[in-house]
Structure 1
């Protein structure tokens, strides 16, 4: 006998609007974190970007730290979804290149928040947030597996500690070279991404 499906409770129109507004808040926060970084961004900036009163913003998030932490958690969820969507048969080195390219494409369009500085209040909040840490560990473990596999195949220098390689790849998601090249106006966004990917994986030495 087939088990009966349990009907899911309907979400009220008011709740749908609440969730939609919260999503808009998080998207605007991610963009502002990419444009201004955490320390320069204000709650007024977010409210203005979404088109709501600051009082309404505080109904969703009680502080700037809580809001930005939620945005960073969402970014990690997007990264995990991207990693999960890569073909299982794709070589590990190609997966690493794809991840760096994806990160740079988000960075150049201000969709990727800049990482907080060591003395930023946000860093302490993130390090205390269970969802953020769990997401970071999951992503790091997956990327770490690809790094060690690429090293075993001789595609990444095996004498480099995998953690150093991991942090190097993470750093591309907030690489200031992207902004310098974009501001210079000599290259298109696609060309900038290609150039940074090349220098990341192929280095600067002539071959």
Structure 2
């Protein structure tokens, strides 16, 4: 039985709409100026409200950014689950996950939030809002492992290589630091790199497979 949506009063609706507008505007300022140059004063000016009003929603800039971070993580997880639940073969779903991870690595906001996610207070606030980042990552790994096992069961993936090793190889290929190193030193676009990583992941480095 579906839980009924709680009825909001006009005042509650207005508060929710104002909070969404603050978050949207804060995201725009963050993308333009970066975390350290973003001020609550400018966000308030762009929204058209007093700075004190922002503080009734978010006690600090760290709290505001942590809310944006947590919200983006939820969107990421929802997209990840949508790929896993699609009625496609394990192979196609795994390719789609690789593309999804790649887009996440190179998105402007992802890079901004990643560079911002360094302070102890911000990490604590994000964890409080969204649960431990480590727990989230372990959950994702578990889901990919199940997808690999599903692919083995239907004959799409090799059974002579352990799922854990497959997972390790895949995650290593999609390490952001490794990507940056390759892109800086070689004339490749991020999309070209993605296609070559997929080739390595599914076909390996040799022309001929062993007997």
Task: Bin the TM-score by the shorter chain.
Answer: 0.5 to 0.7
Larger Rg: 2
How far residue 59 of structure 1 moved from its aligned partner, in angstroms, is 1.3
8 A contact 1:105–1:193 mirrored in 2: no
Q: What do the CA deviations read for 1:126-160 (whole angstroms, capped 9, x no partner)?
A: 564252426555444324544666689149x8685
> How many residues matched?
191
Distance 2:199 2:121 in 1: 34
1:69 counterpart residue number = 66
1:47 counterpart residue number = 44
How far residue 206 of structure 1 moved from its aligned partner, in angstroms, is 9.4
1:97 counterpart residue number = 95
- Give the direction of change, closer, same or farther, for the CA distance of 1:200–1:141 in structure 2 (3 Å limit): same
Distance 1:48 1:200 in 2: 45
Distance 1:54 1:10 in 2: 29
Q: What do the CA deviations read for 1:71-129 (whole angstroms, capped 9, x no partner)?
A: 11111211122123224432344334323434555676634353146743455325642
* TM-score, L = length of structure 2: 0.61
Relative contact order, CA 8 A, sep 6+: which one is greater?
Answer: 1
Question: Tell me, what secondary structure is at the counterpart of 1:129?
Answer: helix
State which drifts further: 25-34 or 72-81: 25-34
Structure 1 unpaired stretches of 5+: 181-186
- Give the direction of change, closer, same or farther, for the CA distance of 1:162–1:104 in structure 2 (3 Å limit): closer
Distance 1:137 1:51 in 2: 42
Q: Which has the higher helix share?
A: 2
1:131 counterpart residue number = 130
Distance 1:47 1:61 in 2: 12
1:115 counterpart residue number = 114
Distance 2:33 2:149 in 1: 35
Computed over aligned residues only, the root mean square deviation of the Cα atoms, in angstroms, reads: 4.5
Listed as ranges, the matches of 1:175-190 within 5 Å are none
Distance 1:161 1:122 in 2: 35
